[in-house]
Amino acid sequence: MQPQILLLKEGTDTSQGKPQLISNINACQSIVDAVRTTLGPRGMDKLIVDSNGKATISNDGATIMKLLDIVHPAAKTLVDIAKSQDAEVGDGTTSVVLLAGEILKQLKGYVEEGVHPRILIKAIRKSLQLCMEKINEMAVHIEKQSEDDQQRALLEKCAATALSSKLIHQQKDFFAKMVVDAVLSLDDLLPLNMIGIKKVSGGSLEESQLVAGVAFKKTFSYAGFEMAPKSYNNCKIALLNIELELKAERDNAEIRVDNVKEYQKVVDAEWQILYKKLNKIHESGANVVLSKLPIGDVATQYFADRDMFCAGRVPEEDLKRTLKACGGAVMTTANDINASVLGQCEYFEERQIGSERFNIFQGCPNARTCTLILRGGAEQFLEETERSLHDAIMIVRRTIKHDSVVAGK
């Protein structure tokens, strides 16, 4: 029997042993050095420009690690560490990368001396056990039944700590209160997707506000929109995935007619189909009509004449949040629309915030939700503010779910 020969793919690197371990540690060290200066209250922000020329200014470890185009497979594990920390805890993404890098740095000397990796891993596991015991000793337990004021003060401190190294650290007290209000306004499971964050350029950071309900930017609208009412009490909401617009049928089909009357019948049939849909929506008793697809000028005018508000091309994320908060169902046909599939809320209004107009639904009965509307100067600044608040929100959620906190230095 001839021995089987395995041919590796061309370009495959089969290096192993001590040199490869040292190479891996060195690669991780270079990544650590790239993010080291962002740590702490005096940490510096990084300006990263991607291949498309889009610039991102950030202090968030996970964001920087994602944007760095890392090729080395061992160094990529550090990116995974930062991502998992961001998903699970929210804050401390830079810290975990630096900690991992420092442990590797300390082990490098032992690897060079020929100590087997198994022995090193055993030592790390032992040190991890000792660290966990020490952390549990130092942890401060929060009594769930303790006074609400005490718990709130602690949550605000946790949020402020998460914000202290961010770009918005000067307004950390203002935002810490807002973040705690946002998380406490949710249901017991604290679903992250029920906190919406919207950005409006212009104004100062202090003009940012928390809306107790669903809010999204006014969508593209056709003629006749200004005639529609801008506020309702106890409104009923129709959520649709229907296009309420006259389509140019020549784009979709070919119709051959031999006289004008036949052509007129085709045009009339098209109008009748649209009017039947609009009439059924009106008869359902809805005041507000939201659709994922466009609502044309005929439909806009039709709804405005009947004191109904409509918005087409609503982003899917906002439609889903409205559905969860206000109830009802997203309908794909106008035939089955009735009172049972309509969402409800206590108050709806369209409000001007800075240069944008927002549609706001408050007093939603099904699920508790809120929206943070952020104000600020440049777009990059607002994006970094959003990332900072995401970290703070995650920390407050985690503090509520777990009953212990460890103070840091």
83-123 pLDDT, tens digit each: 898 888 888 888 899 999 999 999 988 888 888 889 999 99
Which residue out of 60, 86, 91, 318 is catalytically annotated? 60
Neighbours of 195 (CB within 10 A): 22
Write the DSSP symbol of residue 8.
P
Cβ(304)–Cβ(225) under 8 Å?
yes
83 Cα distance to chain centroid: 15
What's the maximum distance between 2 C-alpha atoms anywhere in the chain? 95
CA nearest to 151, candidates 370, 408, 405: 405
Give yes or no for residue 46 having a pLDDT over 90: no
CB hemisphere CA count around 95 (13 angstroms): 12
Which residue out of 94, 161, 371, 399 is catalytically annotated? 94
Give the model's pLDDT for residue 102. 92
How do strand 209-211 and strand 330-331 relate by DSSP bridges? unpaired
**What region does 137 belong to: left with phi over 0, alpha with psi -120 to 50, or beta?**
alpha
Give yes or no for residue 350 having a pLDDT over 60: yes
Give yes or no for residue 41 having a pLDDT over 60: yes
Cα separations in angstroms, 13 against 20, 74, 310: 10, 13, 61
Give the model's pLDDT for residue 7. 66
The yes-or-no answer on residue 93 being catalytic is yes
> pTM of the predicted model, to two decimals?
0.79
Question: Which residue type sits at 198?
Answer: K
CA nearest to 312, candidates 325, 331, 299: 299
pLDDT band, very low/low/confident/very high, at 4 (cuts 50, 70, 90): low
pLDDT band, very low/low/confident/very high, at 8 (cuts 50, 70, 90): low
Give the model's pLDDT for residue 124. 93
pLDDT in tens, 161-193: 888 888 888 888 899 999 998 888 888 787 888
The yes-or-no answer on residue 94 being catalytic is yes
pLDDT band, very low/low/confident/very high, at 381 (cuts 50, 70, 90): confident
4-17 exposure pattern, b = at least 16 Cβ within 10 A, e = fewer = eeeeeeeeeeeeee
Give yes or no for residue 127 having a pLDDT over 90: yes
The yes-or-no answer on residue 318 being catalytic is no
- The helix/strand/coil state of 220 is coil
Which residue out of 86, 91, 318, 391 is catalytically annotated? 391
CA nearest to 172, candidates 408, 385, 401, 400: 385
pLDDT in tens, 300-331: 888 988 888 988 899 988 898 888 888 888 88
Give the model's pLDDT for residue 186. 84
Higher-pLDDT residue of 253, 339 = 339
Give the model's pLDDT for residue 11. 64
Mean pLDDT of the chain: 85
pLDDT in tens, 189-207: 878 888 888 988 888 888 8
The yes-or-no answer on residue 258 being catalytic is no
Give yes or no for residue 402 having a pLDDT over 90: no
Once rounded to an integer, what is the mean pLDDT over residues 42-69?
85
Once rounded to an integer, what is the mean pLDDT over residues 74-86?
89
The H-assigned helical ranges of 16-72 are: 18-35, 61-67
Give the model's pLDDT for residue 339. 85
Give yes or no for residue 285 having a pLDDT over 90: no
Cβ(205)–Cβ(385) under 8 Å?
yes
Give yes or no for residue 286 having a pLDDT over 60: yes
- Which domains occur in the chain, in start order? 18-138 (1.10.560.10), 141-212+373-405 (3.30.260.10), 214-247+270-366 (3.50.7.10)
Cα 292 to Cα 319: distance, rounded to the nearest angstrom: 7
Once rounded to an integer, what is the mean pLDDT over residues 129-145?
83
Give the model's pLDDT for residue 91. 83
Question: Which residue type sits at 113?
Answer: E
- Residues found in the chain: 409
Cα separations in angstroms, 130 against 104, 282, 301: 18, 68, 70
Chain position carrying tokens 């082990």: 107
Give yes or no for residue 274 having a pLDDT over 80: yes
Which residue out of 93, 161, 300, 385 is catalytically annotated? 93
Cα separations in angstroms, 223 against 246, 295, 301, 372: 14, 11, 7, 30
Q: At what angle do helices 93-112 and 117-138 cross, to 10 degrees?
A: 140
CA nearest to 349, candidates 238, 233, 212: 233
Once rounded to an integer, what is the mean pLDDT over residues 334-340?
85
Give yes or no for residue 377 having a pLDDT over 90: no
Once rounded to an integer, what is the mean pLDDT over residues 352-371?
85
Cα 13 to Cα 109: distance, rounded to the nearest angstrom: 24
Q: At what angle do helices 172-184 and 379-401 cross, to 10 degrees?
A: 50
pLDDT band, very low/low/confident/very high, at 3 (cuts 50, 70, 90): low
Give yes or no for residue 16 having a pLDDT over 80: no
The angle at the Cα of 189, spanning 187 to 194, to the nearest 5 degrees, equals 60
